[in-house]
Chain A
């Protein structure tokens, strides 16, 4: 049992290191760290001195180690464009993204799960077919168009909801939240719907297809042959068996919802990490890009680990012992 857990943790660390390496390579080799600091008319000697003091002539392993050490402390250098420490930028924008992501994820999960189960069980009903058709449209609509559409209808035409920004926020230490003010809550609605919609559609279709697959399994047939009631078969047996693949994939998807937030944040002018990332790509601000990559990598790895643990709890085949070989 412990073997499984330790393996999961080790894998997580390996992935993290790999991601860090990519970020490090970006920092070091794309663009010129020296040029971005000194400007155009520095002499060759000045540049070399700077390079030396930055440790740019050390062996790569050493530089990578230094990079990791700094990253662990939260030091990602200075933003090329904004001149401020990247870590500060990240911290300022983190709460906005987290709030948006978590609420969207919760919405997508709850509604997606419910609809997925419904459309699997009532697969021939007109309501189910309608939902499936709408979901297909949902997958085909680019998120930014949904955002624009929502802004237009609810913000411009109906004037019910604000169309950009977070509204007023309340600060707790370095964290800010929009949940405590009315304008803050109102500002959350459209972005949450936009971001959650795509996730919801994916989760719903996944749950539905997994459940349909499970309903065809032999053990469900045998359960039917034993005369078990529909509600027991659907909600006790089939549901539990559906959960395993669903947990894995849903977990990973929700883990990357932070990354999916890029589009939503841009459309709604939401002051989060995603919008920051897009700007940094526009101007090739490498430190910010690299730091964002590490952050997303971290979230992915952590969520993956949590999913592995959950998996372990749900599936007895992993935790209970091997087959006893008696006849």
Chain B
């Protein structure tokens, strides 16, 4: 007598991944932290005590309040202190993290789409096209993403008229960072594609005249999602850090739409003069965010590695 077919819920519960997750306190902690930061950031208008980047909401008299101090002008409680213009650091953090996360997620999405597409094409078409794409991927992988992102950013700036720089900054950064990281996805997908393209169903499709590529994609993508997810997670941390670095250099997100990196850039000026909180909290946020995402990515990779099971 056969057992009843397990439901989706039961299958998920029984899956190796979930078991490994429950077993690992670090993974759970990292996941909770990440989710918390995401929620706080994306719902910044809801959670933030102050609309931090609206000049009308600020009171100059509140400037340089210490953490846990009340502002001299508006008497608002600044949990993490305020900056030179009376901006609440806590709120600034929420909004800044939101920008950082938007850049991170969008650029990872862009890299993924680009990388997976190129990988599929390379694997399917083969021959010179494949060689070319893979060569470029190899070369790009040995350069720091920062360099490539900077280069693309610079070129984009040269092509965009100066008055549009600020408004297009977000898109340019996403494009630059995204373009710098497609290679790893392409490699993974192409490896799977190479295996699949010789299989019968692809050959059959080709013979009939249907394009084998979409069919092959349908079969490859589920298998390849695991490693792709691991790469994406680690890439997310990298993208957030890269964006922060670019903003820190002054070539990233502008003052009007600051990210955590931009905030750190401001904070640096005040470090020596004693208002340490303007620098410390954005810096801490980046470190915690980066660490949590990296931990998740590391754990995910180990959990998916069949040899370690």
Asked if the two chains touch in their complex, CB atoms less than 8 Å apart, one says yes
Q: Which residues of A contact B (CB under 8 A)?
A: 15, 26, 30-31, 136-137, 139-145, 148, 152, 156, 216, 252-253, 255-256, 259-260, 262-263, 266, 277-278, 280-282, 284, 286, 289, 293, 296, 300, 304
User: Nearest chain B CB to A37's CB is how many angstroms away?
Assistant: 16
Measured in the bound complex, the distance between the Cα atoms of B162 and A282 in whole Å is 12
A30–B298 CB distance below 8 A: no
Stretch of B16-24, B53-61, B214-222, B245-253 with 4 or more beta carbons under 8 angstroms from chain A: B245-253
User: Nearest chain A CB to B301's CB is how many angstroms away?
Assistant: 10
A141–B290 CB distance below 8 A: yes
A30-B159, A140-B287, A142-B241 known; A255+B142 contact, CB < 8 A: yes
B147–A259 CB distance below 8 A: yes
Residues of A within 8 A of B286 (CB): 142, 145
B264–A296 CB distance below 8 A: no
> Closest residue to A198 on the B side, CB-wise?
B144
Of the candidates A15, A284, A289, A293, the one whose C-beta lies within 8 Å of that of B139 is A15
> Closest residue to B139 on the A side, CB-wise?
A15
Per-residue contact bits, chain B 260-299, to A (CB 8 Å; 1 contact, 0 not):
0000100010011000000100010011001101110010
B290–A140 CB distance below 8 A: yes
User: Nearest chain B CB to A289's CB is how many angstroms away?
Assistant: 5
A136-B298, A300-B143 known; A142+B245 contact, CB < 8 A: yes
Residues of A within 8 A of B147 (CB): 256, 259, 262, 296
Looking at B158, B237, B287, B293, the one whose CB has the most chain A CB atoms below 10 A away is B158
B142–A262 CB distance below 8 A: no
Of the candidates B154, B251, B294, the one whose C-beta lies within 8 Å of that of A139 is B294
Per-residue contact bits, chain B 144-157, to A (CB 8 Å; 1 contact, 0 not):
10110011011101
Q: Is the CB of B244 closer than 8 A to any CB of chain A?
A: yes
Of the candidates A145, A263, A281, the one whose C-beta lies within 8 Å of that of B264 is A145
User: Nearest chain B CB to A27's CB is how many angstroms away?
Assistant: 11
Q: List 6 A-B contacts (CB under 8 A).
A: A136-B295, A142-B248, A144-B248, A263-B146, A278-B251, A281-B251
A148-B271, A278-B150, A284-B154 known; A140+B294 contact, CB < 8 A: yes
Residues of B within 8 A of A293 (CB): 151
Measured in the bound complex, the distance between the Cα atoms of B146 and A4 in whole Å is 32
Measured in the bound complex, the distance between the Cα atoms of B271 and A100 in whole Å is 26
A266–B151 CB distance below 8 A: no
Residues of A within 8 A of B158 (CB): 26, 30-31, 284, 286
Of the candidates A156, A263, A286, the one whose C-beta lies within 8 Å of that of B272 is A156
Number of interface residues of B (CB under 8 A): 37
User: Nearest chain B CB to A297's CB is how many angstroms away?
Assistant: 9
User: Nearest chain B CB to A208's CB is how many angstroms away?
Assistant: 13
Measured in the bound complex, the distance between the Cα atoms of B159 and A296 in whole Å is 23
Total number of residue pairs linking A and B with CB closer than 8 Å: 96
Measured in the bound complex, the distance between the Cα atoms of B154 and A31 in whole Å is 11
Measured in the bound complex, the distance between the Cα atoms of B283 and A140 in whole Å is 12
Of the candidates A30, A152, A280, the one whose C-beta lies within 8 Å of that of B271 is A152
> Closest residue to A251 on the B side, CB-wise?
B142
B143–A26 CB distance below 8 A: no
Measured in the bound complex, the distance between the Cα atoms of B150 and A58 in whole Å is 30
Looking at A266, A280, A282, the one whose CB has the most chain B CB atoms below 10 A away is A282
A142-B241, A281-B150, A282-B251 known; A259+B283 contact, CB < 8 A: no
Measured in the bound complex, the distance between the Cα atoms of B273 and A156 in whole Å is 11
> Closest residue to B242 on the A side, CB-wise?
A142
A277–B157 CB distance below 8 A: no
Given contacts A30-B159, A293-B151, 15 further A-B pairs with CB under 8 A are: A26-B155, A26-B158, A30-B158, A137-B287, A140-B237, A140-B290, A145-B264, A253-B142, A262-B146, A263-B146, A278-B150, A281-B157, A281-B249, A282-B251, A304-B142
User: Nearest chain A CB to B182's CB is how many angstroms away?
Assistant: 16
Measured in the bound complex, the distance between the Cα atoms of B286 and A148 in whole Å is 14
Looking at B147, B237, B244, B290, the one whose CB has the most chain A CB atoms below 10 A away is B147
Residues of B within 8 A of A304 (CB): 142
A152-B271, A263-B245, A284-B158 known; A277+B144 contact, CB < 8 A: no
A260–B144 CB distance below 8 A: yes
Measured in the bound complex, the distance between the Cα atoms of B147 and A140 in whole Å is 18
Residues of A within 8 A of B295 (CB): 136
B249–A252 CB distance below 8 A: no
Measured in the bound complex, the distance between the Cα atoms of B264 and A293 in whole Å is 28
Looking at A136, A142, A145, the one whose CB has the most chain B CB atoms below 10 A away is A142
User: Nearest chain B CB to A260's CB is how many angstroms away?
Assistant: 5
A262–B150 CB distance below 8 A: yes
Measured in the bound complex, the distance between the Cα atoms of B265 and A148 in whole Å is 11
Measured in the bound complex, the distance between the Cα atoms of B290 and A256 in whole Å is 23
User: Nearest chain B CB to A123's CB is how many angstroms away?
Assistant: 12
B291–A289 CB distance below 8 A: no
B142–A144 CB distance below 8 A: no
> Closest residue to A259 on the B side, CB-wise?
B147
User: Nearest chain A CB to B183's CB is how many angstroms away?
Assistant: 13
A289–B151 CB distance below 8 A: yes
Q: Which of B138-191 contact A (CB under 8 A)?
A: 139, 142-144, 146-147, 150-151, 153-155, 157-159
Residues of A within 8 A of B245 (CB): 142-144, 263
A30-B158, A156-B272 known; A281+B153 contact, CB < 8 A: yes
Measured in the bound complex, the distance between the Cα atoms of B65 and A138 in whole Å is 32
> Closest residue to B146 on the A side, CB-wise?
A262
State the 3 A-B residue pairs at the shortest beta-carbon distance, nearest first. Answer: A140-B290, A281-B154, A30-B158
> Closest residue to A277 on the B side, CB-wise?
B150
Of the candidates A26, A30, A31, A142, the one whose C-beta lies within 8 Å of that of B290 is A142
A26-B155, A136-B295, A300-B143 known; A148+B279 contact, CB < 8 A: yes
Of the candidates B139, B144, B154, B291, the one whose C-beta lies within 8 Å of that of A136 is B291
A289–B154 CB distance below 8 A: yes
